[in-house]
Amino acid sequence: MSGRKAVGDGMQLSQMRGTTGYMAPEWVLGLPIDTKVDVYNYGIVLLEILMGSRITEQRTVDDKERLQMSQIVQALKQVVASGDITSLVDSRLNGQFNPRQAMDVIFKALRACDDEDEHPTYLW
């Protein structure tokens, strides 16, 4: 999460804290940030809860390098577009989940992880 302090009408970053994989791209790049960065972090955590694994550590097929979050989000969007989200939900649930609720969580999480201009200031 970001450490912020009020400065006039805006916010100013006082200190960067967090794990790089969970940080919004604009934060990592040192661009101006707002509360959307926390929504981005939350979206990543939602995806990890739903999938039952740390998506921030996904690697390429040849296992040589870590995937960028934008690549992961695009791949997840393709799976969602296919309509079959079973492969995205934690396999330890053995198919015992409500598909509509899972889809709702996926949509919200992916929206939170969207490009800087697209991710919302809140999810619900």
Please state the rounded mean pLDDT for residues 7-34.
64
Percent of the residues in the chain that have a pLDDT greater than 90, as a whole number? 31
Please state the rounded mean pLDDT for residues 42-61.
83
pLDDT of 1 over the 50 cut = no
pLDDT per residue as tens digits for the range 70-94:
788 888 999 999 988 999 999 999 9
Q: Where are the chain's structural domains?
A: 35-112
Bridge partners, 7 (sequence order): 10
Tell me if the pTM is above 0.75: no
Rounded-to-10 torsion of CA 110, 112, 113, 116: 130
By residue count, the chain amounts to 124
